[in-house]
Amino acid sequence: MTLAIMQPYLFPYIGYWQLINAVDTFVIYDNIQFSKRGWFHRNNILVQGKKTLFSIPLKKDSDTLDVVERFVSDEAQKQVNKVLAQIQNSYNKAPYFKDVFPLVESIFLYDEKNLFRYVHNSIIQLCEYLDINTQIIISSTIDINHNLKSQDKVIALNKAMGSTQYINPIGGTELYDVGKFQNENIHLNFLESEVPEYRQFKEEFIPYLSIIDILMFNSKEEVKRMLEKYELLGEKDNV
């Protein structure tokens, strides 16, 4: 069984969806510390040919809290409406706007104040749209010692789920000791994403934008083919 584990991100770039699609089971951390520099509640879209950040306002609280303990601001609706208007104005001439905007709108307008559940819903809805059938599990529901940190927690989650192969994004190659995974009979791979280039109106191509951008400019079938555009590197490729 292949497993991946990630933080919950809002409308992340194509590499996130490639990772979900590459595994049998995808674990989403709910009991992981929130970071305002992370992508839990924000991402980038294309506005007038420039990469532009949008974000969902959160209630003020301690940055030491876990994601599941953070909440969307009570006054967030006004900002959400502004973001939706910005997306509509920026992409209304995109070829797949009419197909995609209702989905994007329903995700943004999801009636949930808890940040984790809000983002979790977005991931579930987008997986359904893209016909990704990977099993998605919330980390806190898995019976392990959740006080474990970093690699030890990842290994514990793999063992609890009966995983024989763990796939991590390529950016994590320095985080893991290959030998420790081998000792637990877990094959360790790293997913190196191929970020496809596609037409964005007549502007110079800007990569690594939110999945919103890809969906606006590419058909569902084209995006599904993009999900297969990656390389899996094994332990021997990383030592």
DSSP-derived secondary structure for 131-184? T---EEEEGGGS-S-TT--HHHHHHHHHHHHT-SEEEEEGGGTTT--HHHHHHT
**Range from 20-24, 171-175, 196-200 carrying the lowest mean pLDDT:** 171-175
Distance CA 135, CA 239 (A): 31
pLDDT exceeds cutoff 90 at 47: yes
Say whether 229 sits in a helix, a strand or coil: coil
- What per-residue confidence (pLDDT) applies to 234? 82
- What per-residue confidence (pLDDT) applies to 235? 57
Tokens, residue 70: 């953070």
pLDDT in tens, 102-117: 999 999 999 999 999 9
| Banded pLDDT at 239 (limits 50, 70, 90) | very low
Distance CA 134, CA 217 (A): 25
- Check if the beta carbon of residue 18 is closer than 8 Å to that of residue 229: yes
Place of tokens 């590459």: 22
